[in-house]
Structure 1
Amino acid sequence: MTAREARLLQPGRVYVGWRYAQVHDDPGPPPKRPTPPESEQLDRAWLASQRQKENLFNRPLKMVGVATGVGAVLFIAAGISGTLPWAFAIAGLVACAAVAVITGYSMWQSEKALRARMAEENERFQRKEEDRRRRLEAAHAAHARAYQVWQHRREAFESQHEWYAVTVPQGVGRVDVAGGTLAGWSAMVTMLGAARLASGSEVTVLDLSEGAVAKELVELGDDQGERPLVWVLPGDLPQLDLTHGLGPEELADVLSLVVSVSEEQASTRDLSFDNTILERVLGVFGGRASIPRITAALRALAQVGDPRDDLRDGLITDDELAKITTMFGRGAADRVVIERAWALESQLRKLEKLGSNPTLLPPSRLRVITTDRRAGVLTNRVLGTYVTAALTHVLRASKGGEPWANTLILCGAEKLRGDVLDRLIDSCEATSTGLVLMYRSIPPHVKERLGRGDAAVGFMRLGNAEDARVAAEQIGTRQLLEVAELTDKLAEAVADPENGSYTSTVGRSVPSVFDGTGTSEEALPDGIGRATAWGQNTSRAADAGKGSREFAVEPQELQQLPPTAMIFTHAEPSGRRILLVDANPGIMTLPTANIQEYEEATGPSRARHAKPDVTPPDGSRPAPNLGPPPERLDFRKKKR
């Protein structure tokens, strides 16, 4: 994927991470050049031996020939000297000539046969040399073809996409993430939130983790010119009032849920009783009152302190005080009323600054509400429950839109009661609001809700052995998954934030982190690579090489998952789909990342890890089809 392609995003998709898969195998080293066979030479020793054998065979004939010549000379000399008559001398010469002809012919025949054998041997040698030359040429031609195939395979291997996007299936409106470190959550929130913002959606993050897991997303939004709104509670309570505009029944419902945060799963009667008390108190004030006025009325009802102090402070009037003290009459029920009013007052007092100093804030598509780790544990649970319950009513009153057009990410959802979570889930489903619930652990009330309905589930590192066992049983033991070498290597470079904290952008005395340097025309991957630790660490670790390892889904493996690794599973018509996903948003900046899903990029008919035969396009066999180019949407921030 080129830098230009990295700017693009497919429309209507909810990206949760990246899947590592290689379509083409490593072809290995190039084929070796053929070694030419050793060239043979004509055997001169054999020729010499043949000549020697021929000489030994013809030696008697040569001796006879010499003797014949000597005899001819003697006959001629005898005829000249008159020792023999010329008739006898001529007869002797004729006899010698006949012998010479016979022996010479035999020697000629022998020499002719020897030359024929030598010629045949030379011809055989020439044929052998020609055959060796042809075989060498064929070997070189085969090597050239093999090298061309290897080169094409190598190019396909080096230029292939290795990371494919993983998205939430169509029709799924909720993702449950169980387990994970703060660093892993940071990756997940940044990946999903940045992609939703880039597609034009609005993102709200409720961070109850006390680990600033959305800090990278906030910095990225600031870099892109989005100007995020960040409330850090309880410090920013004066600038926050999510219950503004709610009726007395809705407000009483929210506040009664807030009070139940410190109790076990209460019965319907208990919640109804708290709700009744709060509705009647609000009725005294005409249906609407600030938290300080409500707590003052509850103190009077619970007979805590001196009501004259609240009268002097103007929180209640004499007429209102009279109505409150006679609201439930007198008798045995007083003890129950006093007990519940006291519990209500002790918890709601933590919200007394709520909406006391409202500030007109500019619009923003990224909103983060978080609890400060320096506040008390119970205070943060009260604040988290209030925000969740209030957002539930805000959603119920809103009109539904396109799925995931509004996205709510709730980090630390295990800190909320089960009934609070159920109300939020129902409201999000009714309004098509995308919901991401992130749990650090899997207590009983989370276990029974995990993946309920059509929700997709992601399992990240689970430190607790029992949680890991529960997750392994839900995923399916012995399921083989593949984790990339880059995912393992990046685990050494990232760590949970030690002092992670947000900077408020809504307080009047605290300047906004927005500095105006961002540009709406800049591609999001460029911003991730520059403005986030994920992009920087990924670019440094990208030289880890190509490779992966397999592991079986076992409890001990789930306890050792890399921080950004997530086992993502959801139901499909063909069965449950299980993938190993890397939630690291920095992968988006790599040239090997493909914004398509693996099945789309490689074709629906290809097997999960098919390794196609890649041959050079020589006209006889076409190059493999790597899938059609994706239809993509500009991955730049939309102008409002």
Structure 2
Amino acid sequence: MTNDDPLPRLATEGERLGWIFTDRNLYRRRFTEPPPQPQPVPPELRDRLARAERATTKRILVSIGVGVALAVLIGCCGGVAARGDDESTARTVVFLFAGLAFVAGIAGAVIAALLPGWARKAVENAQRQAQDEYAREHAAWDSRRQWHDQQQQQAVDARPEWSAASPSPGTRRVDIIGGTMYGWEAVLSVFGGSLLATRGRMVLADFTGEALSGELIRLAETTGRSVRELLLPEQLAEFDLVAGLQPAELVDGLVEAMYGDAPEGNRAERSQDALLLTEVSTILAPRLTMARLLAALRVLAGRPASAQLTPAEREQLLILQPDAARLRRIEAFLHPLEEMGSAPSTAEVADLTCLVAGGAGGQAQNELLKDLTVQWLGRQVRREEPPIGSLVLLGADEIHHRALERLSTLCERRGIRLVLFFAHLRADSLRTIGGGEVALMRLGNHHEAQQAADFVGRGHKFVLSRLTRSLGGDETHTLADTYGETETKGGERGSRMSGRHLRRFSSTNWSKSRNWSQTESTARGTNWSDAATADRVYEYVVEPRVLQDLPEYAMVLVRNEGQGSVVQAVEVDPAIVTLPRVSMKPIAAEPLPDPAEAVIPALRPLEAPPAVGWGAISDPPRQQEPGRSSHER
């Protein structure tokens, strides 16, 4: 063991299926205080500068003109008034006042010329004061911002990025579906190491034929735990699967192993085989071994007797007259087990017991050994001393679901963690899974991936199915012209006497009128509507394609909490333990900051994601991958 070996770090208390990645930067909050703004120069100062610059020339000319005019006026008026006795003195006074008036005009012109400079200097002083005040305020604001960022950095640095994914409290069973052999080996290292540290003694049965427990064995050895590994059937002589059984228990186990999951139509054959084996076992008791049982069957078949049987036992066996075909069939089943328990072996109980199925035996022998091993595991669970903390079965696909259910019930009653690995999701697996939490790894077959997605379930949401928009309008324009004309003509004719003369007269009047009018009216109207229709649809929580494309060291953990399932993306790479900010315990998800305050607004909440996508954990940073003793990952 070296100090750089990461395997011992996996043997930390607390059950862990793997780790869940959480981006710690999502919890970083922005400094929301707005920065100070520089104060503008008072507008009256700028107005004064503008007026001074605009009226400078005029003021100079006016001042000089007024000064000269006053000087001339004083000189003229003073000269007239100074005529008299003291003319010289008066003139001196006049010239003095005229000079003063001229100098005052020149002084006014100078002051008028200096006013823009004074106004400009006042503006510059105001700007300098505003800049100094802004610099002080900005420095104080920047100091507060840096302190806030420092506090946020410390809080983010203290937050782990990888939190342990643990089974829910009260769950005794975990089913792992799919995955590759490398993925299973990683789960054994991570989950198995935590089970050894948390629950103590572990029994592991590997039916895959790939010997996946090598890294877990090395982990147990480097942490000072005892290990017992048996390769079956190669080391069958050192391990007796039926040791200590009563005749009835042995017969029941052998008959169950011989027939396995045969249909119920063979119940009569089962009963006849059980009766024959019971009679033979009763004669051989209490020294009941597989070698003696096979020797007894050969005696019944008329073959030479073995030295393992006593003469009295042979005489009692010959009384039985079983069917020869039945004897041959039973012997054919039990023949591969003849050497079971024949070699001396230590019966010490180890912290980690690994039963590894090899590929040396035939198919029938391996099937029989597998069934007997499952029965032996059930007896180990029922034993009071020493207690088992966890039981792991690799390659549980070919084990009959009734046997798995019995084993699950036994583990449930005794508080033992049962972990089942299924390479495929088939009919028997579908009957079995769901008794606890289920972890889905890569499923290459699309049909199995669809069944797994159906198992996870579907969620409903409202989807826009139809969008209707209509736009219409009308416009009416009316133009009417009215024209009328009237004409009236009239007159009179007559004669009348005017003196002695008769005068004739006539008069005519005529009038004509016209009227014309035009009427115009316009009416416009517009109407529109915008309608959307949403339908409630059901979609997979996890799409089947996601399960087919899972990374090798990734799983989808389906946890039953309350009235629904919680789906979590879990990374099982053992090398994660070497990364910084890794928590070996689960951490409750904290609410994310409001998007208005978050530096990186989250697209969705961390709790109960509607769909699983791997994103950042599909290819996590790996500094070291421990335990590649037998395979190159």
Q: TM-score, normalised by structure 1?
A: 0.68
- Identical pairs, percent: 24
- The answer to whether structure 1 residue 352 and structure 2 residue 370 are counterparts is no
Is the 1:201–1:406 Cα contact (8 Å) retained in structure 2?
yes
SS at match of 1:131: helix
Classify 1:52/1:328 alpha carbon distance in 2 versus 1 (closer, same or farther; 3 Å).
farther
Alignment of 1:562-577 (within 5 A): 562-573=551-562, 575-577=564-566
Alignment of 1:448-463 (within 5 A): 448-452=431-435, 455-463=436-444
Is the 2:29–2:597 Cα contact (8 Å) retained in structure 1?
no
CA distance in 1, matches of 2:558, 2:241: 34
- Aligned residue type for 1:60: G
Choose the corresponding residue for 2:63, options 49, 58, 65: 58
Alignment of 1:86-125 (within 5 A): 99-109=98-108, 111-112=110-111, 118-125=117-124
Is the 1:237–1:353 Cα contact (8 Å) retained in structure 2?
yes
- Aligned residue type for 2:406: R
Could you tell me which residue of structure 2 aligns to residue 213 of structure 1? 212
Choose the corresponding residue for 2:307, options 314, 318, 325: 314
Give, in angstroms, the shift of residue 8 of structure 1. Answer: 11
Is the 1:418–1:445 Cα contact (8 Å) retained in structure 2?
yes
Give, in angstroms, the shift of residue 275 of structure 1. Answer: 2.6
Classify 1:479/1:25 alpha carbon distance in 2 versus 1 (closer, same or farther; 3 Å).
farther
Could you tell me which residue of structure 1 aligns to residue 253 of structure 2? 254
Could you tell me which residue of structure 2 aligns to residue 139 of structure 1? 138
Is the 2:174–2:420 Cα contact (8 Å) retained in structure 1?
yes
Is the 2:240–2:341 Cα contact (8 Å) retained in structure 1?
yes
SS at match of 1:15: coil
Choose the corresponding residue for 2:542, options 523, 532, 553: 553
Classify 1:429/1:368 alpha carbon distance in 2 versus 1 (closer, same or farther; 3 Å).
same
Give, in angstroms, the shift of residue 240 of structure 1. Answer: 0.2
Could you tell me which residue of structure 2 aligns to residue 508 of structure 1? none
CA distance in 1, matches of 2:10, 2:359: 38
CA distance in 1, matches of 2:386, 2:234: 33
- The answer to whether structure 1 residue 364 and structure 2 residue 350 are counterparts is yes
SS at match of 2:26: coil
Give, in angstroms, the shift of residue 17 of structure 1. Answer: 2.5
Could you tell me which residue of structure 2 aligns to residue 160 of structure 1? 159
Could you tell me which residue of structure 1 aligns to residue 320 of structure 2? 327
Choose the corresponding residue for 1:388, options 374, 392, 400: 374
Could you tell me which residue of structure 1 aligns to residue 507 of structure 2? none
**CA deviation digits over 1:124-181, x for unaligned, max 9?**
4322321232123212221221121112212222331122223333332222211121
- Aligned residue type for 2:21: Y
- The answer to whether structure 1 residue 413 and structure 2 residue 406 are counterparts is no
Is the 2:186–2:573 Cα contact (8 Å) retained in structure 1?
yes
Q: TM-score, normalised by structure 2?
A: 0.68
Classify 1:266/1:392 alpha carbon distance in 2 versus 1 (closer, same or farther; 3 Å).
farther
Classify 1:282/1:362 alpha carbon distance in 2 versus 1 (closer, same or farther; 3 Å).
closer
Is the 2:75–2:98 Cα contact (8 Å) retained in structure 1?
no
Give, in angstroms, the shift of residue 106 of structure 1. Answer: 4.9
Classify 1:342/1:394 alpha carbon distance in 2 versus 1 (closer, same or farther; 3 Å).
farther
- Aligned residue type for 2:414: T
CA distance in 2, matches of 1:317, 1:8: 55
**CA deviation digits over 1:310-347, x for unaligned, max 9?**
42x43557775665566366xxxx4xxx5544333222
Give, in angstroms, the shift of residue 47 of structure 1. Answer: 7.4
SS at match of 2:341: coil
Could you tell me which residue of structure 2 aligns to residue 636 of structure 1? none
**CA deviation digits over 1:70-113, x for unaligned, max 9?**
9899x89xx9xxxx987677666666555545554455456556
Could you tell me which residue of structure 1 aligns to residue 451 of structure 2? 470
CA distance in 2, matches of 1:393, 1:437: 18
CA distance in 2, matches of 1:201, 1:479: 43
Give, in angstroms, the shift of residue 216 of structure 1. Answer: 0.5
- Aligned residue type for 1:294: L
- The answer to whether structure 1 residue 434 and structure 2 residue 417 are counterparts is yes
Could you tell me which residue of structure 2 aligns to residue 504 of structure 1? none
**CA deviation digits over 1:413-466, x for unaligned, max 9?**
1121223323322332343332111111122122111123xx222222222222
Classify 1:610/1:95 alpha carbon distance in 2 versus 1 (closer, same or farther; 3 Å).
closer
Give, in angstroms, the shift of residue 370 of structure 1. Answer: 0.3
Could you tell me which residue of structure 2 aligns to residue 279 of structure 1? 278
Give, in angstroms, the shift of residue 117 of structure 1. Answer: 6.2
Deviates more, 1:135-144 or 1:566-575: 566-575
Could you tell me which residue of structure 1 aligns to residue 531 of structure 2? none
- Aligned residue type for 1:579: Q
- Aligned residue type for 2:182: A
CA distance in 2, matches of 1:369, 1:125: 91
CA distance in 2, matches of 1:223, 1:352: 36
Give, in angstroms, the shift of residue 219 of structure 1. Answer: 0.8
SS at match of 2:355: strand
Task: Tell me the C-alpha RMSD between the 2 structures.
Answer: 4.4
SS at match of 1:204: strand
CA distance in 2, matches of 1:418, 1:372: 23
- Aligned residue type for 2:366: N
Structure with the bigger percentage of helix: 1
Give, in angstroms, the shift of residue 385 of structure 1. Answer: 1.6
Alignment of 1:296-311 (within 5 A): 296-298=295-297, 307-308=302-303, 310-311=304-305
- The answer to whether structure 1 residue 583 and structure 2 residue 566 are counterparts is no
Runs of 5+ in structure 1 lacking a partner?
481-550, 616-640
Is the 1:204–1:409 Cα contact (8 Å) retained in structure 2?
yes
**Which has the higher Rg, Structure 1 or Structure 2?**
2
CA distance in 2, matches of 1:167, 1:400: 27
CA distance in 1, matches of 2:597, 2:200: 41
- The answer to whether structure 1 residue 294 and structure 2 residue 293 are counterparts is yes
SS at match of 1:231: strand
Classify 1:464/1:358 alpha carbon distance in 2 versus 1 (closer, same or farther; 3 Å).
farther
Classify 1:389/1:363 alpha carbon distance in 2 versus 1 (closer, same or farther; 3 Å).
closer
Alignment of 1:583-622 (within 5 A): 583-599=572-588, 606-607=590-591
SS at match of 1:369: strand
SS at match of 1:576: strand
Is the 1:161–1:594 Cα contact (8 Å) retained in structure 2?
yes
Classify 1:48/1:315 alpha carbon distance in 2 versus 1 (closer, same or farther; 3 Å).
same
- The answer to whether structure 1 residue 399 and structure 2 residue 400 are counterparts is no
Is the 1:239–1:354 Cα contact (8 Å) retained in structure 2?
yes
Is the 2:336–2:365 Cα contact (8 Å) retained in structure 1?
yes
Is the 1:14–1:196 Cα contact (8 Å) retained in structure 2?
yes
Is the 1:257–1:389 Cα contact (8 Å) retained in structure 2?
no
Could you tell me which residue of structure 2 aligns to residue 488 of structure 1? none
Classify 1:67/1:220 alpha carbon distance in 2 versus 1 (closer, same or farther; 3 Å).
same
CA distance in 2, matches of 1:186, 1:479: 36
SS at match of 1:217: helix
CA distance in 1, matches of 2:384, 2:414: 6
SS at match of 2:559: strand
CA distance in 2, matches of 1:471, 1:426: 24
Classify 1:22/1:298 alpha carbon distance in 2 versus 1 (closer, same or farther; 3 Å).
same
Give, in angstroms, the shift of residue 299 of structure 1. Answer: 5.2
CA distance in 2, matches of 1:273, 1:178: 39
SS at match of 1:448: helix
Runs of 5+ in structure 2 lacking a partner?
462-539, 599-633
